Amino acid sequence: MNKPREQGVHWDNHRGKWNITLIVALIVAVVGLISRNPLLAILGLGFAAYSWFTSPRQYLIYATSLVIVYGRPRIKVIPFSEISHTDPLNLPVGERLRVQLVSGRRFLLVARNPTEFRQRLDEALDKFRGAFQSHGSPEQGPDRPSPY
């Protein structure tokens, strides 16, 4: 029997509507094919594939995780337990949201509506952490007392 899918809390698209790098790479590949230059065609296709798999398309907030959707089929699921905190970054090119992981790794999110997205992400994180603290940590278990 299929388990029910988790309902999303909020979602937003990546700010850029067009992936310019992908478009330019495809143009280079077509020019390489027309001019019968296999190296140019291969380089164009290689950069197009790289851009497709590394450029975010959509950001999804669930009750227990943040999901970044790249070019299909690639997605990145970040459990809330791995997120340390979020920081807004006001840059000359627009507002960004930096997600800092516990491991030290960072992700920059460029949502179309960054203020609302950050607010919804912070609400979901607070709700998750509140439920996590009220039920105890997974390592604690029902028979082990809290170390604090």
Any idea which residue has 């070019």 for tokens? 71
pLDDT given at position 37: 92
Token couple for 73: 């089929």
Q: What is the mean pLDDT of residues 59-64?
A: 92
> Lowest-pLDDT range, 44-48, 90-94, 97-101, 107-111?
90-94
What the chain holds in terms of domains, given with CATH numbers, is 1-16+58-137 (2.30.29.30), 20-54 (no CATH)
Indicate the pLDDT class of residue 80, thresholds 50, 70 and 90.
Answer: very high
Token couple for 129: 């952490």
The residues, ordered by sequence, that sit 6+ positions from 37 with a Cβ below 8 Å of its Cβ are 31
